[in-house]
Amino acid sequence: MSKRRPIAWALLTGLLLAPPSLGIPIDDARLRAAGLETGNWLMYGRTHDENRFSPLDQIGERSTGRLGLAWSRELGTTRGLEATPLVEDGILYISGAWNLVYAIDARTGGILWHYDPKVQRSRALFLCCDAVNRGVALYRGKIYIGTLDGRLIALDQHTGKPVWDVSTADITKPYAISGAPRIARGMVVIGNGGAEYGVRGYVSAFDAQNGNLIWRTYTVPGDPANGFESKALEKAAQSWSGEWWKTGGGGPAWEGVVYDPALDLLYFGTGNPTAWYRALRGKGDALYTASILAVRAATGEIVWHFQTTPGDNWDYDATQPLVQAELSIRGRMRKIIMQANKNGFFYFLDRATGEFLSGKQFVSGVNWATGLNPRTGRPVEAKSFLESTEPMIVSPHPDGAHNWNPMAFSPTTGLVYVPAKSDSHMLHVPDMQWAYNPDKGNAGGDDFYEGPMADKDHAMSGPKGELVAWDPVRQRAAWRVRLPTASGGGVLATGGNLVFQGRADGILAAYRATDGKQLWSFDAGTGIMAPPVTYMVDGVQYVSVLAGWGGPTALFNPPGWGKMKSGFGRLLTFRLDGRAEFHPPPFGHQGPPPMPSFVEASPEQVHEGELLYGAHCAACHGINAVAGPLPDLRYAGKQTLEGIDSIVLAGSRASMGMPSFAKILDADQVRAIRAYIVSRARADAMAGARTP
C-alpha cells in the first residue's frame, strides 16, 4: 500500500469516516475512488457515476429532529444559484451569479477567498436562463470554472488567483457556458449553450495543466461546402433539410458531461435544433440534437448515439443529468446510463453500446408521444402533432418534465429520485414568417413570451412539481411526493435513508428515502433550485445548499406556476444540534405600485407595447410586467421612465446586466413598451396589487 493512497489506507483500516487527504492533490486515482472519501464531495455528482449518494448516516431518519442551521452566508445577489458545492478537507468551493467563485470555511461560513471573472453583463442579451452557473471542478490544486462569456478559467485552489484563462468559443456568437466542467484523463471537459439564439454545439477537452485545447467534437454537421470533421457528422448531415448550418444548427451540450474511466467514455446530452420547429427547419431527425452521445475520452470520437427526440419540435433538450449504475437486468449485470428526459420519458440504456433497454413515462400529462418503440426506443408521436403548423397545446412544457436539476440514485434503495413536473403544458405556434436574425432569439415561435399566451397558459393550469422515487429496473414509481410548487430543486440521497430537496418557495425538506414521508423542513427565505451536498468535518456531518431563486421559471414568471420566493442568495449549512439564528433580510416591494404620474398613450400604442414587451422584455422582467428577481418595471420612477431610451437603446445600464436593444427596437417601439408598462402600473396601483 502506497502512502500516496489515502483511499486504500482508509479501506484497509475501515476508517471510512472523512479520511484526511494528507495534502495529496486531487489526482485521477482519488477521483476514481471519490465515493470512499465520505468527508469530501470532490466532483459535481460526488463520483464519476454522478449518483449524488453519500453513505454518511449521522444525520439519519431517526435524528432529523435534531437537525438545525449551523450557519448561513449571504452572497449579496438576487439572481439564480444552481451550483453544487464541492468540498475538500473542510473547505467549500461554490460558484454564484455571474460566475463569482468562493472558497468558504465549512465550519464557520467564513469566506477564505473569492474570484470575479468580470463577465461582461451585456452578455445577458444571449442568456436564455439567467446569469447562472452549476459549479466548479477540482483537480491537482486548481479550481476550474466555465463562464457566461465562453471562457474556461483555472484558479489556484488555495489562493483563488487565476492560473490560466482561455476562450472556448467565438463570442461574436451567442455561446454561453452555464454547466460545471468535468475532469477526465488530465483534461477539463466543457460544452456550451445557445440553441435558442443559434449556435453550433460542441464539447471541448483542454489540458488541465495549461489550458491547451486537446480535442473538440461538434454535435451537428457544419456547412457541407467546408467538408465534414468526421464520418459521424457526414452521416448526420443526411438527417437535415435546407441550409441548417446558417443558424448553427443547435444541439449544444449545455449541461453535464459524465465519465466512465473503465470504458474510457464520456457521455453528454445535446439540446434542441435551431429553430425549435420542424415546420421552419424542414424534415429530418436533425442528428445529433436532442440526443445522448458517447465519445472516446482520449480523442472525442463519437462512439454511439441515442436520439431521445428525433426531429425535435418542442425544445426537448436531452441535457438532463446522466446517472451511471451497475444493475442486474434479467440475471445479467449491465453497465447502465439513465436519464429522466425533458420529453417525459425515463431512459435506461446500456452505456457500453448505447443499446436501448427500456423507457417509460415518469410523469402524467405527456401528450406529444403515445409511447416508445419497445425495441428501438424511438418515440411514437401522437398523430395530431405530426407535421402540424397549427397551434398545439403540448406536454411537457419546454421547461421539461425534468430539467438540469440533478436527480440522485441510491444504491441502497435502488431508486432514482427525480425532481419532476407533471401536467406541464404550453401552446406552441411556429412563426411561419421567422427568418434567422443573429441579433435576437431564434426559437421561431409566434407565441414565445407573448402577453396573451400568459392567459392561455393560465387556462391550461400550472405544472405540478413532484419528487418522484423511480424504480429504474421496473420502470415505475415507488412513491411520489406532490410539491406545493411548480418545481423542485436538485436532489441528494444519503445513507441515513434520507432524500433532501429544496423548492421554489424556499423550503428545504428531508424525506424518508424508502417511502417519501417528509421528516424535516427549513424555510431558507429564498427559492431553492440547487442540489444539496453532504460531507463531514471533525466528525460532524453537514448538509449545505445554495438558495437563490432564478432561472427560466423565475425570469419568465408564468402565472399559475405556484408559489415562488425571489430573494437574496445565500449558502446554508445544517448539522445535528445546529442552533444558528436566521433572520433573512426582507426582499421586494412591500406595497402596490405607485400611481404613474405621466404618459398618456392610445390603446393601440399600449397594445403594440404589450406585444413588444412579450417578445423582448418578459423573459427577464416577467410576464405582464410582474417581476421576481429582476426590476419590477411597474415600480419604475418618473426619471427611469423618462430616460427609457438611454437604458433600452443606448445601454446606459449595460454594466448592471441590462444590454442595449438598439439592434432590435427603435425609439417608437420603446415608447410603446413604456406605454404598456405605465398601463400595467396604473391598473395594479388602482387594484392595490402586490408584487408576487
Residues of this chain that bind Ca ion (CB under 5 A): 271-272, 315, 317
Give me the sheet containing 182-184, strands edge to edge. 182-184, 187-190, 202-207, 213-218
Please report how close the Cβ of residue 271 comes to Ca ion at its closest, in angstroms: 4
What is the amino acid identity at position 358? S
The CA distance from 467 to 531, in Å, is 13
Taking the complex as a whole, the smallest distance from the CB of residue 399 to Ca ion amounts, in Å, to 10
The cell numbers describing 81, all together, are: 444559484
Whichever of 60 and 441 has its CB closer to Ca ion, that residue is 441
Nearest Cα neighbor of 576 from 545, 547, 542 is 542
CB of 313 to Ca ion, least distance (A): 12
CB of 375 to Ca ion, least distance (A): 28
Q: Are strands 369-372 and 379-381 parallel, antiparallel or unpaired?
A: antiparallel
What gap in Å lies between CA 116 and CA 153, rounded to an integer? Answer: 11
Closest approach, Cβ 341 to Ca ion, in A, equals: 13
Q: Which residue type occupies 400? A: G
Q: What is the dihedral of CA 221, 204, 254, 262, to 10 degrees?
A: 110
Q: Which amino acid is at 45?
A: G
Nearer to Ca ion, 314 or 520 (CB): 314
- CB nearer to Ca ion: pick between 40 and 424: 424
Q: Which is nearer to Ca ion, 289 or 494 (CB)?
A: 289
Closer residue to Ca ion in complex, CB, 60/201:
201
Is 31 or 529 the residue whose CB approaches Ca ion more closely? Answer: 529
Q: Which helix (H) or strand (E) holds 573?
A: strand 570-576
Q: Which is nearer to Ca ion, 196 or 457 (CB)?
A: 196
- Least spacing, CB of residue 177 vs Ca ion, in Å: 15
| Burial grade of 21 (CB within 10 A; 0-12, 13-18, 19 or more) | middle
> Torsion over CA of 306, 312, 317 and 320, rounded to 10 degrees?
-50
Residues 6+ apart with CB under 8 A from 480: 466, 467, 468, 469, 516
Q: Tell me 553's DSSP state.
A: H
Q: Please identify, using beta-carbon distances, which residue of 78 and 192 lies nearer to Ca ion.
A: 192
- Please give the span between the terminal C-alpha atoms of the chain, in angstroms, as a whole number: 60
Amino acid at 582: F
Determine whether 684 is an active site residue: no
Sign of the dihedral defined by the CA atoms of residues 628, 634, 640, 646, in that order: positive
Distance CA 179, CA 147 (A): 9
Q: How far is the CB of 512 from Ca ion (least distance, A)?
A: 35
Cell numbers found for residue 163: 492560473
Total Cβ atoms within 10 A of residue 331: 5
Say whether the peptide bond before residue 396 is cis (omega within 30 degrees of 0).
yes
Whole-number Å distance between alpha carbons of 340 and 530: 17
Query: In whole angstroms, what is the distance from residue 37 CA to residue 479 CA?
Result: 30
Of 315 and 505, the one with the shorter C-beta distance to Ca ion is: 315
Longest CA pairwise span in the chain (Å): 82
Residue ranges of E strands in 288-355? 291-296, 302-307, 323-329, 332-340, 345-350
b/e burial code for range 40-69 (CB count within 10 A of at least 16 → b): bbbbbbbbbbbbbbbbbbbbbbebbeebeb
In the complex, least distance from residue 278 CB atom to Ca ion, rounded to whole angstroms: 15
**Spatial distance between the Cα atoms of 101 and 99, rounded to a whole number of angstroms:** 6
- DSSP assignments along 7-41, one per residue: HHHHHHHT--S----TT----HHHHHTGGG-TT-B
Q: Which is nearer to Ca ion, 102 or 197 (CB)?
A: 197
Nearer to Ca ion, 204 or 272 (CB): 272
Q: Provide the minimum distance between the beta carbon of 57 and Ca ion in the complex, in angstroms, as a whole number.
A: 39
Q: Which is nearer to Ca ion, 88 or 317 (CB)?
A: 317
Catalytic residue among 312, 315, 399, 423: 315
User: Which of 49, 317 has the CB closer to Ca ion?
Assistant: 317
In whole angstroms, the minimum distance from the beta carbon of 400 to Ca ion comes to 9
Report d(CA 254, CA 338) in Å as an integer.
18
We find the least distance from the C-beta atom of residue 179 to Ca ion, in angstroms, to be: 13
b (16+ CB within 10 A) / e for 175-197? bbbbbbbbbbeebbbbbbbbbbb
Least Å distance, CB 312 to Ca ion, is: 9
Strand bridging mode 86-88 / 91-95 = antiparallel
d(CA 235, CA 246): 19
- How many residues are recorded in the chain? 692
Q: How far is the CB of 604 from Ca ion (least distance, A)?
A: 34
Please give the positions annotated as active site. Answer: 315
